[in-house]
Amino acid sequence: MEFQLDQAREVLSTTPDVLNAMLRGKSAVWLHCRKTAEAFSPADVIGHLSHGERTNWMPRVEAILQHQDTRAFGGFDRFAFRPLIENKSIEELLDEFAALREQSLAKLHSLHLSDEQLALPGKHPDLGAVNLSNLLATWVVHDLGHISQIVKAMANEYRDAVGPWRAYTTILG
């Protein structure tokens, strides 16, 4: 599928609602489960996504529009969210993420990006040449990847409890 901004917005705009439905009101067991010791928990994912709203997606969109590929983006510390989520409830984290995403999408909408702008080049510090549509497509896939990560971590909590049905539960594969 070729990148389409309207289709990207469909996913980006609903991610907060999906996460809210999955996590609001859940017990600590569900919110802090991990598929592996080093993996993000569902609560970590919400913090990570909020941090990305502040420092990654729209700042990089703006960098491409202003500087194109004459300057590399700044780096992104995927663990910088940790102090930002301490002592916050999942409800606070979900509300914060939803507000940040709403701001990001309002700003994105206000840009009225043309096809020519979507093709503008940018420079990733590790990957090198990218363009604006690559960045926006990655934002969508990043959301979907973290939703999948949450689902897999939660399913893994019942890995042994499903007993012999594990043979039929591909998510536990």
pLDDT (tens digit per residue) in 43-75? 999 999 999 999 999 999 999 999 999 999 988
Question: How high is the mean pLDDT of the chain?
Answer: 96
Provide the number of structural domains found in the chain: 1
Strand residue runs (E) in the chain: 121-124, 128-131
Give the pLDDT confidence score for residue 72 in this predicted structure: 93
Select from 154, 145, 155, 139 the least CA-distant residue to 42. Answer: 154
Cα–Cα distance for residue pair 47/107, rounded to 1 Å: 21
Give the pLDDT confidence score for residue 1 in this predicted structure: 82
**What CATH number is associated with residue 93?**
1.20.120.450
Distance from the Cα of residue 39 to its chain's centroid: 15
Give the domain range for residue 44.
5-172
C-alpha atoms less than 13 angstroms from C-alpha of 52 in its C-beta half-sphere: 19
Cα–Cα distance for residue pair 24/90, rounded to 1 Å: 6
Indicate whether this model's pTM tops 0.85. Answer: yes
pLDDT digits (tens, 9 = 90+) for 143-170: 999 999 999 999 999 999 999 999 999 9
